[in-house]
Every structure is written in C-alpha cells, then in structure tokens.
Amino acid sequence: MKTGSRLLEMYDALVRDHGTLDWWPGRTKLEIVVGAILTQNTAWSNVEKSIAVLKERGWLRIRTLERVPEDRLARAIRSSGYFRQKARKLRAFLRYFRERHGGSFRRMARMGTDSLREELLGIWGIGPETADSILLYALGRPVFVVDAYTHRVLRRHGAHPGGGYEDLRGIIEREIRGTAALYNDLHAQIVWVGHRYCKTRPRCAACPLLPFLPGGVAVEAGR
C-alpha cells in the first residue's frame, strides 16, 4: 500500500519545513489526561484557561481533584465548553483510576498497551482519540493518535485509505513502525499543518504539503 510511504513523505516535507515539534503542553501525567479530556472538540486556547484555573486553585493533583464536587469542577473548567459533560468525564476517569490502579500512574503503567486501551475505552467519556492520547502522551506507548485533522489532511492529499478511526490507526501503525517519539511528532505535525493550512476552509498557498495536492495545485488551493 502506498498510503504509508506517501504519509511518510508528507511527514518528511513537514519536518524539512520547520523541524520536529516535541509536543503536548503538560507538565504531569494528570495534566495530560485532564488536557486530553478537556480538548475534546475544543480549541486548545480554551483548555489552557481551564488548566490555569485548576492550577491556581491547587486542584491539579489526584487526591484533591477527586474530592472536588462535580458542579464546582464544572464551573472551574467552564472555558473548555461542554463543561458539565467534561466534569463528569473527569470524575469518571478519576473513579476508574482510583478503583483500578489506586490512583497511581506507576501501577497503571504495569498494564500492557492493548488491555489498558480496552479499559480506557470502557470509561464513560473516553473514546478512541482520548484513550490513545493518554497512552501516547501520558504513558509513552507507541500509539498513533488519529484525529479530525488526520482524516482531513490525508483525504485532501490523496493519502486516505478510507475507513474510520480504528482502520486508519491500524493502517498507519502497520506502515510506519514508529517509536512513541515518532508517533508523537507525526501527530503533532498533522495538527500543525491542519491548524494552519487544512481547516474546513483550506489555505493551501504557502503550505509545505502543496506538492502533495492531487490533480494540480489549483483545485483545493482557492478560497
């Protein structure tokens, strides 16, 4: 299949353009998990504000966060949008984390990636992207995180093999046997280019992936 090699060529073009990115703003594993949940279908700038509030209040620790009532937590993360839903999701994770791992990432890390992934997907509010973000960014597992940009960027550049989340993840992981560091940067590059050039209204003029646009440059380059 040429999807993998084409994707790899696109990745190389992005790295040549601006270097590797070394991603995910988050000092601790808990902060990464919280960020992964809060950023669901939400701009990161909105999430930053919520994280700042949690830090100011000293709530960004397991034992503390567990004890914050759901409605108070919801108000604190208001800027992230869907704040009632997300407060519930955070508490659902914390409950699982306490009951299953005693609130310890060290213990959680003893699990194999596949079985842990299944457990994370069983938590209310944790879907495939959030689960994989936790596995990759908090636990350093070699998992590729598929997101809306991944679908869009690959589709626009004729590199999408079709299928949904699991299909795409499987194909990419099979064709690019990466370390966690590579999957980290690959995802970061896709979000970078998606954010700057490949939104629903694409702005392809100065995009490093311009050479990969199928059927000539002009088709999607307008607007």
Partner DNA sequence: ACCCAGGTGGCCC
Partner DNA sequence: GGGCCACATGGG
Interface with DNA (CB under 7 A): 23-25, 36, 39-46, 49, 78-86, 123-131, 133, 137, 145, 147-149, 164, 191, 194-195, 199-201
Give the residue with the Cβ less far from DNA, 38 or 216. Answer: 38
Give the span between the Cα atoms of 149 and 195, in whole angstroms: 8
Rounded to the nearest whole angstrom, what is the least distance from the CB of residue 187 to DNA in the complex?
7
Give the residue with the Cβ less far from DNA, 44 or 105. Answer: 44
Give the residue with the Cβ less far from DNA, 43 or 219. Answer: 43
Rounded to the nearest whole angstrom, what is the least distance from the CB of residue 116 to DNA in the complex?
15
Contact 185, 23 (CB under 8 A): yes
Rounded to the nearest whole angstrom, what is the least distance from the CB of residue 107 to DNA in the complex?
23
Task: Let me know how long the chain is.
Answer: 223
Neighbours of 172 (CB within 10 A): 23
Give the span between the Cα atoms of 79 and 42, in whole angstroms: 10
- DSSP character string of 94-141: HHHHHHHHTT-HHHHTTS-HHHHHHHHHHSTT--HHHHHHIIIIIT--
Rounded to the nearest whole angstrom, what is the least distance from the CB of residue 46 to DNA in the complex?
5
Give the residue with the Cβ less far from DNA, 69 or 164. Answer: 164
